Structure 1
């Protein structure tokens, strides 16, 4: 099975995130599994029998396992029936964040008359026959996280299908050229896609038992690290080739440097960000110049909508920009929020963004976007040369 770490957002085949834990400080499997979201809800540890000792296992395991299996089958059946459209549409329309403690009390009306969207959603499911949520309210958060992970994987698989080549190295190169450094977080998704779609490459042996057995990885950790090393080699070659091409074809009158960005006013900076995000593969929609509720532009990719605050500053960007992004995300019901600047963020702005899951792109991050933008111009130039 494949999991997504709720902390670092990397994907893994292990039952404890290898990126967030060290061998010296590795948490227990039960504790670490709470921080992982499986793409298949049956792989949550709640549905796995945990030993209570030799004698209790001998006399009680059969009955308890049968009860556990009944619960599992009921939950999975109802989840499958209600996944379309209830769970998926809730993920796309809710303005609430990820896992939440809201809605864990008794369902039904209260005297204060204030309810979270999650509480109302739980009541919808209970009325649709999902009775288990009355006794196990925390189960809703887990099923929502799995739904979100499935939605993310679906967008990923649509994009990856365009990069399939005749061999592994060419497929990885095509994918990494577009994905950039995100291959480090999504490499497990890559191999899960190969297994799910029965794509075979020489030298890759995926364990078929991983699909039905908890604790068995689809790809052993050492093989996964070897694959990551191969990806790093490919990425390094891409960076070297891009720099060589830039040195050969760079035209100061055509390409954008950070100094030109610094000279832009606020509106020109917003317009340029539209070009940047369109060039690197996002669908972009600008907002009005005024009364935009803290939104400068909207972008979408992989089925997720993101609102962006653009700040072309000479000084540091503080909390207010992050607060505007948070407000815009809630007001417009977006999945993500981002603040982009040609400067840097204050420490308090970084702390607020971290707690509110707002993505920050500072001067260094913007430079990487400029590099991608200029590289696309070079590729267009080279294509024109070949057809001339």
Structure 2
């Protein structure tokens, strides 16, 4: 099984996150609580594994108690499988912030002057649908929601990685790194899991297939993953060197867009330029009307997900109002995600609001990364056009 750590968000095949081996210390001097490893399959949560109390205690009747708990947990897995679509999946996608809130009650019910969190209402929906086990085991709801989120991320990852499946493992890695950069540092194990899950085998990788049913058995040893991380670092280094060499050879100041050009744009020019940026990055782009846009400047979509973008070409910091406009536009147009893009910076309160509402913020530093990618694609296209011209000229001279 593969897991995602709730602390560092990285993926691994280990029941304890190998990236977080040195647990942080809290201000009180006590070790911080251990990060939770979220499995792609909820049956791999520790609660669902048989925990022996010792041979004698098991022999003297504790097995019956464990059997009753196992029956209860099996019912949880069965009902989760039945309700995963549409209830869990739709709840996760429509209410992004699903953490436990102070107002949550252990037993969901109406109460005097009560305010109810989305998660608390969701639990009651499930109980009324027959998921009564959550009354006895309320803590499992949070874990099942985490698994739902991990499954959603894996689905999106699978769609993206499918485009990079080549003949050899190194070709797959090179293609993925060339497009996605250093995301392999977080997702390399997920890539290996995808290959195993889709029965795509390479001689360099020997999987422990029994890991699909044996709790605690990693699909790949951690040392194997580390070895291939080193390979990825070398591939990434080579790609960066070649890109710089190409940039030095084909650099044309008239073709490049710098942040100074962006700063000189007016609002309408900035929106048009962002449309070009996202089109170059492979998104489908749809502009909005110049007025009455309900807080939306652009719509971009990729892999079936639609995102609304609020563009702010400012000289000062961008505040809460831009984030609020993006939140409103996301709801009004029924988009999956919302983003605010600026050539400036965001205030602290805007950042806090965006984090709470799951709005993506692209400030000056992040926009520079988009510009670098945009300029790199210009270089690569220029080089391809040049090669085509050279080939045409060669064919003309040789009579091909």
**TM-score bracket relative to the smaller structure:** 0.7 to 0.9
Map 1:187-226; keep pairs closer than 5 Å.
187-226=188-227
Distance 1:187 1:66, change over 3 A: same
Whole-Å Cα distance in 2 between the matches of residues 53 and 319 of structure 1? 58
Distance 1:291 1:111, change over 3 A: farther
Shift of 1:41: 0.7
Whole-Å Cα distance in 1 between the matches of residues 284 and 5 of structure 2? 27
Aligned position for 2:108: 107
Shift of 1:195: 0.9
Which deviations, in whole Å up to 9, do the C-alpha atoms of 1:110-139 show, x marking residues without a partner? 554754443443333323322212222332
Shift of 1:212: 1.6
Find the residue that maps to 2:372 and give its secondary structure. helix
CA contact (8 A) 1:49 1:68 kept: no
TM-score by length of 2: 0.84
Distance 1:284 1:13, change over 3 A: farther
Matched, 1:9 2:4: no
Distance 1:256 1:50, change over 3 A: same
Q: How many equivalent residue pairs?
A: 385
RMSD between superposed Cα atoms in Å:
3.1
Find the residue that maps to 1:32 and give its secondary structure. coil
Whole-Å Cα distance in 2 between the matches of residues 96 and 108 of structure 1? 23
Whole-Å Cα distance in 2 between the matches of residues 48 and 287 of structure 1? 53
Which of the pair has more CA radius of gyration? Answer: 2
Shift of 1:185: 1.8
Whole-Å Cα distance in 2 between the matches of residues 376 and 367 of structure 1? 14
Moved more, 102-111 or 364-373: 102-111
Whole-Å Cα distance in 2 between the matches of residues 285 and 63 of structure 1? 61
CA contact (8 A) 1:163 1:175 kept: yes
CA contact (8 A) 1:15 1:32 kept: no
Whole-Å Cα distance in 1 between the matches of residues 365 and 325 of structure 2? 22
CA contact (8 A) 2:97 2:356 kept: no
Map 1:262-273; keep pairs closer than 5 Å.
262-273=263-274
Shift of 1:31: 5.1
Whole-Å Cα distance in 2 between the matches of residues 18 and 290 of structure 1? 51
CA contact (8 A) 2:340 2:360 kept: yes
Aligned position for 2:34: 32
For structure 1, the 5+ residue unaligned runs are none
Aligned position for 1:371: 372
Whole-Å Cα distance in 1 between the matches of residues 148 and 377 of structure 2? 34
Map 1:38-187; keep pairs closer than 5 Å.
38-50=39-51, 52=53, 55-92=56-93, 94-101=94-101, 104-112=105-113, 115-187=116-188
Distance 1:23 1:251, change over 3 A: same
CA contact (8 A) 2:99 2:119 kept: no
Whole-Å Cα distance in 2 between the matches of residues 286 and 95 of structure 1? 26
Find the residue that maps to 2:204 and give its secondary structure. coil
Shift of 1:83: 2.0
Whole-Å Cα distance in 1 between the matches of residues 329 and 67 of structure 2? 48
Find the residue that maps to 1:7 and give its secondary structure. coil
CA contact (8 A) 1:338 1:359 kept: yes
Which deviations, in whole Å up to 9, do the C-alpha atoms of 1:311-355 show, x marking residues without a partner? 222233344444544555555555444332222334554455445
Aligned position for 1:19: 19
Whole-Å Cα distance in 2 between the matches of residues 258 and 183 of structure 1? 28
CA contact (8 A) 2:23 2:34 kept: no
Whole-Å Cα distance in 2 between the matches of residues 215 and 301 of structure 1? 36
Whole-Å Cα distance in 1 between the matches of residues 41 and 220 of structure 2? 17
